[in-house]
Structure 1
Amino acid sequence: MNRTYTSVVKLVTFFGVVLLFTNSVDALAFSNINSSSKKIEYIETFSLQQQTKQVQNDSLSKVRDSLRNKLKNSVAVALPSNDVPVLFGKQKNAKRISSSAIVNGEELTSFPTPQVGLMLYGKLPGLYIVQNNFQAGADEPNLSLRGRSPLVVIDGVPRSYLSINPEQIESITVIKDALGTALYGMKAADGVLLITTKRGAIIPKQIRVTSQYGLQQQINTPKFLDAFNYATLFNEAMVNDGRQPIYTASDLDKYKNGTNPFTHPNVNWADEILKNSAAVSRQNINARGGNKTTRYFVDLDYLNQNGFLITDKTINTYETNNSFKRFSFRSNIDVDLTESTLLSLNLFGRIRNGNQPGSTVASIYNAFLTTPNNAYPKLNENGSLGGNTEFQNNLYGMAIKSGYRPSVNRNLGADISLTQKLDKFITGLYASGAVSFNSYYSESINRSKTFAVYTPVVNATTGVTTYNTIGGDGTQANTSTVADQNRQIFSRFDLGYHKTIDKNTFQAQLLYVRDSYVLGGALSQVNQSISGRFNYDYDNKYLLELSSSYMGYDRYKKGDQWGIFPSVGLGWNIANEGFFSNLKKTVNSLKIRASYGLTATNAAAGYFQYLQNFENGDTFYSRNPLTSSNTKDESTLANPNITWEKAKKFNIGFDATLLNDKLWFTADYYKNNFYDLLQTRRTNASAVIGAVLPSENIGKSQYAGVELGAGYQNQINNFKYFIAANGSWSASKVVFNDEPFKNNAYEYRTGLPIGQTFGYIADGFYNNTTEINNGPKVDGYTPVPGDLRYKDLNNDGIINNNDVTAIGSTKPMFYYGLTAGFNYKGFDFSFTLNGVANRNVYYNFTNFAATGSTGGYGQALESSLLRWTPTTSAQAKYPRLSVGSNPNNNQTSSFWIKDGSYLRLRNVEVGYSLPSNMVKFIGFSNVRLFANGLNLLTATKLKDVDPEVLLGSVPNQRIFNFGVNLQF
């Protein structure tokens, strides 16, 4: 506690020195003003006196409006802001043509989760998120934008969002069409997730301190059979397989009554080695302010997240639990060197320290699936670790006696830019240049060790128990491996021009970008581009945008490294037309927009795939025909014509605001046709020529969908409220993938959704031998009652690969979100719902599956009690039991396709801001207490597992979090 207090004092002292140095407005005088309206007047007066020009297009009105919302404790604003971030700049929302959506960074702070990606559930139309592993420090979700993985760009530079916390974020924008992403050319086909960080402004000095503490709970953990039911059902499975049962009636009685827990154990392993809850906390302090020459934003953040494994300090002097600690820092400074010269410097850093048991978290959670409750006791009667030849890795030992594996990774970056206005030469002309450096280092340390387990052996004559030793207590390892050592240098130079002549507004930008990055010991990769963007609007009614990139990539052969990727957009602000004036009071704005363009991606390109003389990988090998070493494995042919994958994208949409901007709507329809996708031909040519065919640009696919968004906000006296919702339909289709000839139309994947699961169509169970004899024969297997029955699609009387077809839903997936809240006299409340429909998951857990080289028998779920038996055939939910994987019942089939749709109460937050007259005497401008929760309720048809995290991974988590926010 003392150490924490000292650290906070040091941080506050540091920020105090920074604020005094900037010599901004008088914070003491500001804090002594009682009413919010007078504070706003004070800021306006100060700003009008000090501000002589716009600072980075951040107008005084925007700053004033932003402060007005914060000082009045406004709820989250659902209406899109006036200025929308785009690649390498900003645009007025009224003049935006490209398809994009934005969320304010302040809205994300109500999510008590370590990862920024997990804060975006249900927030942005077109963005689909799924998380399938919640291991501390390894819980980055999968992001999909219109069916593809978007490029993450922070302040104009491609980099990982793991290096950022929500307090640093001004906004997050998804840019979805070809027009908006064109400046990234060959890297833009999958869309962009654009993160804009906070910057200083001409405002009074502001310091914000947030301290929050939470408890994590694992939810939807699998339910396994107890020892008695496991043994009973295992005997049944053995008999079903034509084998003798291994558990006697006496064994079953001992399992049921628990009379001898050492020879007949019943261990609930989750209860023994997992804690009910784990702590998570985050501390943040940031400062923001500035005057007419210098603006700054500085942020420090510390995250501490514990895992759920038990520990024993009497055994170990070191930590064995899974844990994750993150330290991050960001400083954004803008300095006006002259009235026309702006220097900006961004510095950021992150240190991530992780830890897990020597056996690894993944191995432990996998062992839950392979260790039945009766496998061995946690501890033998003499206190030694239980085990046997079939189960040689005691789960308790894996948690506390296997050593530990710390890890560390460091991320350091710096951006420096200089913008020079050239109005002395041409009014509206400017030049800007920037260089960014980013380094990433990751190291894994192995301090694991082995341990022995012991099997009791009772002497039949003397009754004395001795113990056989299996394995041994090994010495602790001490090795390290550099997992990643990446470096990036990103540079850009651009010329811009803005001019208004009468009702005509012209804006142009010419950009050069070079992005060089090195991944580990691989050769560097270099992208270079010359890009341009031109905007024109007439009387704020008719909008035109042209954008193009001429980009090159050094992984293709010379002469074929460069390509042109143009796009065009048109917009019409109908509400600004004269004939619309009578409706203007009701419909404040109405805009139709459309775009079309060519984009590309080079993500699938490897080194020297166009040369037969080099290894197709990251290691460089010269070929020497006289030796057999360091030569290319010529079983894979080269492709001299390899090039980038391309996409033609079309988007049409409209935006509208009504009722004095209280109500807003947005809608988009898109169709993205991808072609020249790298695929390997599925013909038999490789068998003829004796070599593996290379990847070729032959594939075609299509993504199409509809995205809707709407919101409403209003105020009734002191009661302010808002609601915002969005929904997205996303469909995909394989257009061409060089399938070999099929005998039946239903066997083709072409024309079906990308990633569509194929298998047999289940048609109930075989209930008797008559059904088996009268039905089609199963190729290579003789069914028995209780087995799954499959449809003979080609009616040839045989169930085989010719009966495999698409299984599960082929409907477009629909994902949606809703955020709402209110504010009343200092109290605020908000929540976020998100859900998915038409989502398939494949869920097939094999009961009693053999594990390891010793053939130990695996775990079984409680759902096994609903298996088929002659007496339960009418209500059975699962086929008859077998030991291990049944060659018929465990085939990929529609029986195991489950409806993965869900609706989740993703987040709830309630807060209270103390009255200003209660806090002003201690120098604070605001004190807010808050509580929030994550994953509080879930509605789903899945009964055994979470709809996102299936078996074998760290389960999903519910978090209850409490905190305080201080502003002064």
Structure 2
Amino acid sequence: MDNKIRHSILKGMGKIVQIGMVLFVCSAVAVGQDRMATLEKNRVVYNGIPITQEVDESTVLNKIISISVHEVPLLETIKKIAVKANLEMVYNSKLLAEKDHSITTSLEQITVAEALWAVLAETSLRFAVSADKQLVLLEQKDANNSHQQIPAATQETVTGTVTDGQSRETLPGVNILVKGTTTGASTDTEGSFELSVPSLQDTLVVSFVGYQTQEVPISGRTEIDVVLQPQAIAGEELVVVGYGTQDRREVTGSISSISGEDVAARTSSVNVTTALQGLTSGVTVSDLGGAPGRSQAQIRIRGVTSLDDNNPLFIVDGVEQSYEDINQNDIESITVLKDASSTAIYGSRAANGVVLITTKRGQGESIQVDLNSSIDFQNLTFKPEHMATEEYLRQQNIAYQNAGDPPIYSEEDIQKYVSQSDPLNYPLPNDWYNIVPRDNAPMIKNSISISGGGEHLSTYASASHFDQQGLMPNTNAQRYQLRLNNDIYVTDYLSFTADLRIGRNDLFGTPRSTPGASGPMRLFDHATQFAVPRYPDGTYGLSPQNQNVLAEFDPDISGGIAERDYYTIGNISGTWDITNGLAFTSRVAVEAERFIREENYPTYQIRDYFNPDQVLRERQINSLTERRDETLKTTLYNTLDYSFGIDVHQFDFLAGYSQETFDYKRVDASGRNLYNNDLRDLSLTESETRDIGSTINDWGLRSFFSRLNYNYDQKYIFEVNLRYDGSSRFPEGSRYSFFPSGSLAWVLSEESFWEPWETTVDEFKIRASWGETGNQNVGLYTYFDDLNILSNTYVFNNNPVTGVAKNSVASTDLRWETTKQLNFGLDVSFLEGKYSVVIDWYRKNTEGILLELPISGAVGLNPAATNAGEVQNTGWEFQIEHRNQLSEVFYSVSFNLSDVRNKVLDLAGTGPYYSAEKNTLVRQVGTPIDALWGYKTDGLLTQEDIDQGYPTFSADGTAGDIKYVDTNNDGQITANDREVIGNTIPRFNFGVNLNLTWKNFDFNSQIQGVGKRDMMIFGAYAEAGSWAGFTPAAATDYWTPENTDARFPRPQKFALKNTEPSEWWIIDGSYIRVKNLQIGYNLPENITDKIGIRNVRAFIGGTNFFTITEMEDWGKDAETPTGRADRYPPAKTYTVGVNVKF
């Protein structure tokens, strides 16, 4: 680390210490005022008052209240409850001082008694209420954990166990209360309870933070087992936000929380990104491929923001790090930050949204071991149907005739192909989709975790192994991972975390097994079909074009690719609780990665089966390429948190400093003509053929950030987030930028005028926010001159000399891309939390998008990148969830729907900009990014059109060709007639999630889809009849003089006039898909108890079970983007697995 950086870090830390001192003084003043208020209010101190009168239950302990606190002292929390219950507090100051600790909880629509039980559960304190409405706090000296109203009348004893309805684990600390009294108990560490009740005809009220409260009639029983289901209202009372947590009721921005259980339930997902699909609104995840070891999932949060990078920021346990290979069973929760108020704390990296992943940590004193194992059987989601053999051969004859050539297949040939009387000489036109891919390719996932701890140390450790055999032959991927999360409690005010994740990823395949233009789908569609896959002796047959698709997946023919990726991620933090409400945290994280890739192309020969002496195809010289990548990323941040309350005013303040550095080095080396194919070593290649190259780059980011949250009586909430970022990616003059945001929330349900509806509508909150975020992913060193080294270009004194030439103009005025976002939201829950609704509307404009504006050709250089573009996204999101219990059936169902409209607002007077094959996609003002660009059509040409001189695309246009519209009326069909004809950005994304439990059975399912999207067909499907590639069964409906109302135009060999981008080839890209389905069974407790196991759950399920879409008729999986069928499709899987908890 150089002196400048060291000096900057020390200077920054000095600033934080100064801020801390100011906050400390403020804290002292606030605490002093609070203590004076306490002394004034509590003139009479309780030292033991006998209370013998009955309590007015209907107006005091059974009153329904809601309370939410975050890091608030126990005494202050009880005071808040007392105020809501119209009670005066009487207590022993010394006793409270001994028991005082911070409380963080959110209790909604519960009785006063239940609220008091919840906050006193971890203490020996109990409560009573006198006749004059005084709340008295007492210390319970008994060995058991029960509480009786004074005086008590013990008649019967009830025992039982409380378990979690999802995990089937016992729950310690659950509150059990006899309805209408203060008689109660709480469960022990084993989830068991014992309670004395006045009558066996009473009703028990069972409650626990984060779970639905249940009323259980005793009905004469003395042993009662209770199953609690997770609370409604979208889950947790605390949600993870940038650099901390917040009470859900205090959130003013647009965020979505996803539980680790929901992520782990997607057992067939190969990574975290695909597991998020369809779980929340505003997040579009497209599973673009199932290639083993290669994530092709694309995630977009609230649309496409930039013309370049649109990927969200992923933060894992507080720092940015690799996330795709995280073991799903290690995830505690995922939070998606969507609007500017919630993302602005991350400033320059948050324009595309932020995903926060929190991993599990050790809990409880007892050691718990979880084992998860599953096997998936993978298949292609679809196999397009090939045209029947006879129809195909006759169509080919017509295509040749339409091109002016004689038919290629005689009637005798057609019969031999159809009858297969001589299959070696007359092979069928191969449907490579049914020949090459493997059926039921296995994918095995195993993981084990150990969790536990004590007073000073809690640990979560896990190990996992992932083994995926690819759908294509000779392809597979493996992942090995170890995780260790430690929480160390040195004292009551000093703690540390020490996390470590190490892993290795292996991948093996062939050049043709990778996605893209040379990948399997492109090969299946475009390779010639007439080839014997293998002759009886194993020899590959070749088509007239010298092709055999099966051979392309043989590493001894096509070559092999082997990759290995090692990584180590360390994450250490320390927290010092300086005083009540004031804490300082420092975190250091290091991620080191080493990537190795080897690509070899062996020598081989394919000989003629009928004449073995003849070589039909060969590679005479072998070659080897190796690549080494080393990456080191470090993150340092310090934060100071201060939370305090004054009466009904709650303040939460955060200030921080962070610095990140990234160093990357890559070396490539290659050589040819090795001694043989087995000894793959670059030193064994011919020295004259060796080549070497390298790449080195680095960047850094330095940031200052803060957040202020003010909460007035849980009614009015105001939050400000500020971030000041400096990035080495920009020139010194524009290196730093400021990203502010502000948000407001009004909780109407806390107002007195809401009382008429409070029993129906539990929460009604409106939100508004505005803010700015940035995008620093603009490339490296663009503000420097780009120089090319020209070897041996110049000659001096008859000797070649290496020179240097300038390649492009430096972007000296480069600055940040900035996104400004406005958001309005509504959060509603009603009917005791059984229903919750979240609605958001937003508009975000991204300004300063980089463009290469044209310059004079006389300059002779490429133009500089300039901040000139602007894009707008306007959208809305809707999410509703319902949870309930009907007898022994617990269920939850959620539905989310979102839409976004994208528009390019400014390109600085330039454009349009075209991309993709045949300039199919366009970026121009007034249209969405990457809109479809092509010809409008008016059916197929008729002979009458030809006779009347209608303009055609080519000189040989004839009846049956596509009729392109002359939009500019210039009497000819040219590129000037092309217009925007479609939108490739998915709209109306939706998801439906259903969870059911009944006795020992559980069921979960997910339906996901897109309501509107335009897709354009390319390649073999549009060229049916023109070439020798795959010809779909749908192409049977082609134009002939007898079939003029056809779906496909007139086939013509070697002609592309009917394959131009046009409305003719646009299809409906919407789809609905059963994405996940799983049924599980938990072994009864009387069996697991005997074998000493907490729980055993077996399950079956799978993914991509069923899809409704037009796209599969055209050779595309429902989730692939516009273009040729180049994508490696996602797999359809069937799963069998088991979860065991020890």
Same fold (TM over 0.5): yes
Query: How many residues were matched structurally?
Result: 886
- Among 488, 509, 515, the alignment partner of 1:356 is 509
Whether contact under 8 Å (2:384, 2:433) holds in the other structure is no
**1:753-790 deviations in Å (ceiling 9; x for gaps):** 1221111011110122x212425423654411111001
1:663 aligns with 2:835: yes
Matches of 2:736 and 2:1064, distance apart in 1: 49
Corresponding residue number in structure 1 for 2:404: 242
> After the TM superposition, which residues 853-864 of structure 1 pair with which residues of structure 2 at under 5 Å, given as runs?
857-864=1028-1035
Deviates more, 1:949-958 or 1:427-436: 949-958
1:597 aligns with 2:742: no
Q: Which amino acid aligns with 1:188?
A: A
Whether contact under 8 Å (1:210, 1:964) holds in the other structure is yes
Structure 1 residues 66 and 439, CA gap change in structure 2 (3 angstroms):
farther
Corresponding residue number in structure 2 for 1:698: 868
Deviates more, 1:395-404 or 1:821-830: 395-404
Matches of 2:901 and 2:511, distance apart in 1: 43
Whether contact under 8 Å (1:115, 1:140) holds in the other structure is no
1:168 aligns with 2:168: no
Corresponding residue number in structure 2 for 1:316: none
Corresponding residue number in structure 2 for 1:56: none
Deviates more, 1:203-212 or 1:661-670: 203-212
Corresponding residue number in structure 2 for 1:611: 784
Whether contact under 8 Å (2:467, 2:477) holds in the other structure is yes
Corresponding residue number in structure 1 for 2:194: none
Whether contact under 8 Å (1:227, 1:372) holds in the other structure is no
Whether contact under 8 Å (1:226, 1:268) holds in the other structure is no
- Among 476, 494, 498, the alignment partner of 1:345 is 498
Helix, strand or coil for the counterpart of 2:604? coil
- Among 1084, 1087, 1092, the alignment partner of 1:923 is 1092
Matches of 1:283 and 1:187, distance apart in 2: 34
1:725 Cα shift? 0.9
Q: Which amino acid aligns with 2:275?
A: M
**1:433-485 deviations in Å (ceiling 9; x for gaps):** 0100112222222344243223467xxxxxxx565312336687555322x42
Matches of 1:817 and 1:107, distance apart in 2: 14
Matches of 1:273 and 1:593, distance apart in 2: 54
- Among 744, 764, 789, the alignment partner of 2:939 is 764
Matches of 1:218 and 1:394, distance apart in 2: 17
Deviates more, 1:410-419 or 1:111-120: 111-120
Corresponding residue number in structure 2 for 1:391: 546
Whether contact under 8 Å (1:281, 1:305) holds in the other structure is yes
Helix, strand or coil for the counterpart of 1:162? coil
Q: Which amino acid aligns with 2:645?
A: T
1:649 Cα shift? 0.8
Corresponding residue number in structure 1 for 2:888: 718
1:529 aligns with 2:692: no
Matches of 1:760 and 1:542, distance apart in 2: 55
Deviates more, 1:258-267 or 1:891-900: 258-267
Matches of 2:1021 and 2:895, distance apart in 1: 42
Corresponding residue number in structure 2 for 1:817: 991
**1:282-311 deviations in Å (ceiling 9; x for gaps):** 11111222223211211211111112345x
- Among 881, 901, 906, the alignment partner of 1:731 is 901
Helix, strand or coil for the counterpart of 2:734? coil
Q: Which amino acid aligns with 2:504?
A: I
Give me the TM-score of the superposition, normalised by structure 2: 0.73
1:936 Cα shift? 0.8
- Among 499, 518, 521, the alignment partner of 2:644 is 499
Q: Which amino acid aligns with 1:920?
A: D
Structure 1 residues 775 and 170, CA gap change in structure 2 (3 angstroms):
farther
**1:523-552 deviations in Å (ceiling 9; x for gaps):** 211011001111111111111111111100
Whether contact under 8 Å (2:464, 2:482) holds in the other structure is yes
- Among 416, 421, 424, the alignment partner of 2:572 is 416
Corresponding residue number in structure 2 for 1:900: 1069
1:935 aligns with 2:1104: yes
**1:351-378 deviations in Å (ceiling 9; x for gaps):** 111111365455444322223332x212
Matches of 2:623 and 2:924, distance apart in 1: 49
Helix, strand or coil for the counterpart of 2:575? strand
Whether contact under 8 Å (1:846, 1:890) holds in the other structure is no
1:42 Cα shift? 6.8
Q: Which amino acid aligns with 2:576?
A: Q
Structure 1 residues 696 and 780, CA gap change in structure 2 (3 angstroms):
farther
Whether contact under 8 Å (1:821, 1:831) holds in the other structure is yes
Matches of 2:1110 and 2:1021, distance apart in 1: 21
Helix, strand or coil for the counterpart of 1:434? strand
Q: Which amino acid aligns with 2:289?
A: N
1:845 Cα shift? 2.6
Matches of 2:728 and 2:269, distance apart in 1: 39
Matches of 2:210 and 2:967, distance apart in 1: 68
1:185 Cα shift? 1.1
Structure 1 residues 895 and 662, CA gap change in structure 2 (3 angstroms):
same
Corresponding residue number in structure 2 for 1:3: none
Matches of 2:641 and 2:923, distance apart in 1: 51
Helix, strand or coil for the counterpart of 1:522? strand
Give me the TM-score of the superposition, normalised by structure 1: 0.86
User: Please, which runs of 5 or more residues in structure 1 have no aligned partner?
Assistant: 1-32, 50-60, 311-320, 458-464
**1:537-573 deviations in Å (ceiling 9; x for gaps):** 1111111111111100012122321011111111111
> After the TM superposition, which residues 423-572 of structure 1 pair with which residues of structure 2 at under 5 Å, given as runs?
423=579, 427-455=580-608, 468-472=614-618, 479-482=625-628, 484-520=629-665, 521-572=695-746
Q: Which amino acid aligns with 2:784?
A: L
Matches of 1:127 and 1:668, distance apart in 2: 13
Helix, strand or coil for the counterpart of 2:982? coil
Whether contact under 8 Å (1:711, 1:724) holds in the other structure is yes
Deviates more, 1:248-257 or 1:171-180: 248-257
Matches of 1:799 and 1:772, distance apart in 2: 14
1:695 Cα shift? 1.6
Matches of 1:39 and 1:133, distance apart in 2: 40
Corresponding residue number in structure 1 for 2:353: 191
Matches of 2:1016 and 2:664, distance apart in 1: 34
Q: Which amino acid aligns with 1:36?
A: V
Whether contact under 8 Å (1:186, 1:602) holds in the other structure is yes
**1:197-245 deviations in Å (ceiling 9; x for gaps):** 1112235322111111221121212333455444332222222122333
Corresponding residue number in structure 1 for 2:289: 133
Matches of 1:301 and 1:71, distance apart in 2: 34
Instruction: State the identity as a percent.
Output: 27
1:606 Cα shift? 2.7
- Among 853, 861, 867, the alignment partner of 2:1038 is 867
1:902 Cα shift? 0.5
Matches of 2:231 and 2:787, distance apart in 1: 54
Corresponding residue number in structure 2 for 1:58: none
Matches of 1:116 and 1:787, distance apart in 2: 47
Whether contact under 8 Å (2:232, 2:882) holds in the other structure is no
Q: Which amino acid aligns with 2:884?
A: N
- Among 159, 162, 171, the alignment partner of 1:36 is 162
Matches of 1:67 and 1:418, distance apart in 2: 37
User: Please, which runs of 5 or more residues in structure 2 have no aligned partner?
Assistant: 1-158, 164-168, 175-185, 192-206, 215-224, 304-309, 666-694, 913-920
Corresponding residue number in structure 1 for 2:95: none
1:299 aligns with 2:462: yes
1:801 aligns with 2:975: yes
Corresponding residue number in structure 2 for 1:26: none
Corresponding residue number in structure 2 for 1:960: 1134
Matches of 1:540 and 1:937, distance apart in 2: 46
Structure 1 residues 859 and 505, CA gap change in structure 2 (3 angstroms):
same
Matches of 2:286 and 2:409, distance apart in 1: 43
Helix, strand or coil for the counterpart of 2:1031? coil
Q: Which amino acid aligns with 1:336?
A: Y
- Among 1117, 1127, 1134, the alignment partner of 1:946 is 1117
1:325 aligns with 2:478: yes
Q: Which amino acid aligns with 2:598?
A: I
